[in-house]
Amino acid sequence: MKPDTPTNPLLTDASARSIRYLDGLGTRSVAPTASAIAGLKAFDERLPEKPSDPAATLRMLDEVGSPATTAMAGPRFFGFVIGGSLPVTLAANWLAGAWDQNTGLHRPTPGTSFLEQIALRWLLDLLHLPADCTGAFVTGATVANLCALAAARHGVLRKMGWDVEGKGLFGAPQITVIVGQEVHPSVTKSLGILGMGRNRIVKIPVDGQGRMRADCLPPVSGPTIICVQAGNVNTGSFDPIDAIFQRVRTKGAWLHVDGAFGLWAAAAPSRRNLTAGIADADSWATDAHKWLNVPYDCGLAFVRDPEALKAAMAISAEYLPTQSEFRNPSDFTPELSRRARGVEVWAALRSLGREGIAEMIERNCAQARRFAEKLSGAGFEILNQVVLNQVLVSFGDAEKTVRTIQAVQDEGTCWCGVTVWQGKTAMRISVCSWATTDADVDRSIAAIVKVAGGVRGAHQN
């Protein structure tokens, strides 16, 4: 684009196309059609030699790309654990995109850095975490777990007089890492990246809901990190965090909570009891792109001891104005250059307020129970206690369940994924979108029941 090219028509067109796309989400097939996916071959061009009209590039992106998306932003996508985007957060994302602020350092980006600081303070308040924690806006809960566990590694080794950032782990005191049998793989991946080993961990048995059994905790001594889960990715269950922490708190272990979606239960009065004891942890990881419904990507790490996270993440160089009376975001994140993810978080928190967020989480939890009750009423087995927003449904044996899930995805009214949990194949329904209404739930249930009947009938023939 030449500097004198008018941006206005292009951006107006982008906005019109985006709005059309969003308006169509309620009526289109949630999964892209086979012909839309086949249409992607139009992108398979040779690298152009010459410039062309940017408007034509945008048109192609919309005409070929939009139909080939899955309607994750729509009201009836229940796969994985994926929120939509509240309109105000998408709008804030557009504006912050126009600002194009590299929010690694405060001094050149005072506006976005300050907004992130405010968003962080509000989050600690909303989630009932200690007000003096620090935090980092990162890409997702995977990197949030990584950041928190880097701080943990620093914290437990500093106590032993070992400088892990300076000397690495070569010759360092051994760290014991304790997790539950159903730990999220992003935690074990983070442990691997940090040199603590994906497999060199103590795995505690879990109960019939996937919760760590506190009575199985081994005696704790020496540098120890304990990772608990707030929100099991299959069942939505919470580890008995209070009981676990009471057993190890006095032993000086570092307590980390993976609360990618479950941490938001703290903001919903009827779910808050699930998070008992959580504020006693040393670090927490969560996602804003899941239940807070901000656009991808946005995760959050919170750490009680700011110095531990800073020691693990800060960099310095002569040309970087890191000496500042302000908080430099890059002192707390793996990235130096970064977009200001906190802007959309701020927009969500400011526009919904405490009550609006509680309403959204309560509504999604009630909708998960609605799914469970009605599908159970229709004769299908619900495998988990629906304590939060996750529902596991069996349609019979593994093969029948897999075929039903495929047929549900093909039918297009809604989208749910497959999982294997404690040896059983199940359809996993995750409700965490601001856009989902009870009518969407009922429409999805009707489609699932109808499709399952068809699969059952076909099987009997």
Ligand X SMILES: *Cc1c(COP(=O)(O)O)cnc(C)c1O
Task: Report in angstroms how near the CB of residue 290 gets to ligand X at its nearest.
Answer: 6
CB 301 within 8 A of CB 309: yes
Binding residues for ligand X restricted to 249-278, rule: CB under 6 A: 258, 260-261
Q: How far is it, in rounded angstroms, from Cα 446 to Cα 449?
A: 5
Residue 190 CB, nearest distance to ligand X (Å)? 9
Query: Residue 427 or residue 455: which is nearer to ligand X going by CB?
Result: 427
The distance of closest approach from Cβ of residue 265 to ligand X in the complex, given in angstroms and rounded to an integer, is 12
Is residue 83 near ligand X by the rule CB under 6 A?
Answer: no
Looking at the Cβ atoms of 292 and 452, the one nearer to ligand X is 292
Residue type, 42: A
Helices (H) and strands (E) in the chain, counts: 13, 11
**Rounded to whole angstroms, how far apart are CA atoms 256 and 152?**
8
Q: Min. distance of Cβ 193 from ligand X in angstroms?
A: 13
Cβ atoms within 10 Å, residue 324: 12
| Residue (138 or 452) nearer to ligand X, CB | 138
Which CB, 112 or 235, lies closer to ligand X? 235
Residue among 84 and 140 whose Cβ is closer to ligand X: 140
**Burial letters for 105-132: b for 16+ Cβ neighbours within 10 Å, e otherwise?**
bbeebeebbebbbebbebbbebbebeee
Q: Cα dist. 222→117, 157, 159, 192, 201 in Å?
A: 35, 10, 10, 20, 14
Token pair recorded at residue 14: 């982008």
Question: From CA 88, how far away is CA 81, in angstroms rounded?
Answer: 21
Site string for ligand X, 221-250 (x = CB under 6 A): ----------x-x-----------------
Give the largest CA-CA distance in the chain. Answer: 75
Residue number of the CB atom closest to ligand X: 140
Q: Tell me how far, at minimum, the Cβ of 287 lies from ligand X, in Å.
A: 5
Contact of 401 with 425, CB cutoff 8 Å:
yes
Minimum CB distance to ligand X, residue 357 (Å): 18
216: amino acid identity, one letter: C
What is the torsional sign of CA 264, 267, 268, 273? positive
Span interacting with ligand X, options 138-146, 363-371, 376-384, 386-394, rule CB under 6 A: 138-146
Kindly tell me which of 141 and 408 has the beta carbon lying closer to ligand X.
Answer: 141
Tell the smallest beta-carbon distance from residue 460 to ligand X (Å).
37
Rounded to the nearest whole angstrom, what is the least distance from the CB of residue 80 to ligand X in the complex? 7
Reduce the DSSP state of residue 223 to 3 states and report it: coil
Please give the residues from 421 up to 440 whose contact with ligand X meets the rule CB under 6 A. Answer: none
Question: What is the C-alpha separation between 460 and 454, in angstroms, rounded?
Answer: 10
What string marks each residue from 282 to 301 as x (binds ligand X by CB under 6 A) or -?
-----x-----------x--
CA–CA gap between residue 424 and residue 419 (Å, rounded):
8
Residues 174-193 touching ligand X, rule: CB under 6 A, are 184, 186
The alpha carbon of 163 is separated from its chain's Cα centroid by a whole number of angstroms, namely: 31
Interface residue with ligand X, options 30, 31, 73, 81 (CB under 6 A): 81
DSSP string over 64-99? IIGGGS--TTSTTB-STT-----HHHHHHHHHHHHH
Report the residue number, 229 or 413, with the smaller CB distance to ligand X: 229
* Contact residues for 100 (Cβ-Cβ < 8 A; gap 6+): none
Shortest distance in whole angstroms from residue 300 CB to ligand X? 10
The least distance separating ligand X from the CB of residue 95, rounded to whole angstroms, comes to 24
Which residue, 186 or 367, is less far from ligand X as judged by CB?
A: 186
Say whether 256 sits in a helix, a strand or coil.
strand
CB closer to ligand X out of 82 and 279? 82
**Shortest Å distance, C-beta 420 to ligand X:** 16
Separation CA 283–CA 304 (nearest Å):
6
Among residues 73, 119, 124, 141, the one that binds ligand X under rule CB under 6 A: 141
Residue 61 beta carbon to ligand X: minimum distance, rounded to whole angstroms: 25
- Residue (143 or 451) nearer to ligand X, CB: 143
Residue with smaller CB distance to ligand X, 264 or 395: 264
Binding part of the chain for ligand X, among 32-40, 51-59, 135-143, 209-217 by CB under 6 A, reads: 135-143
Which segment (101-109, 137-145, 173-181, 410-418) binds ligand X by CB under 6 A? Answer: 137-145
* DSSP states of 374-423: HHHHTTPEE-S--SSSEEEEE-SSHHHHHHHHHHHHHH-S-B-EEEEETT
Which residues are at the interface with ligand X (CB under 6 A)?
A: 81, 140-142, 184, 186, 231, 233, 258, 260-261, 287, 299
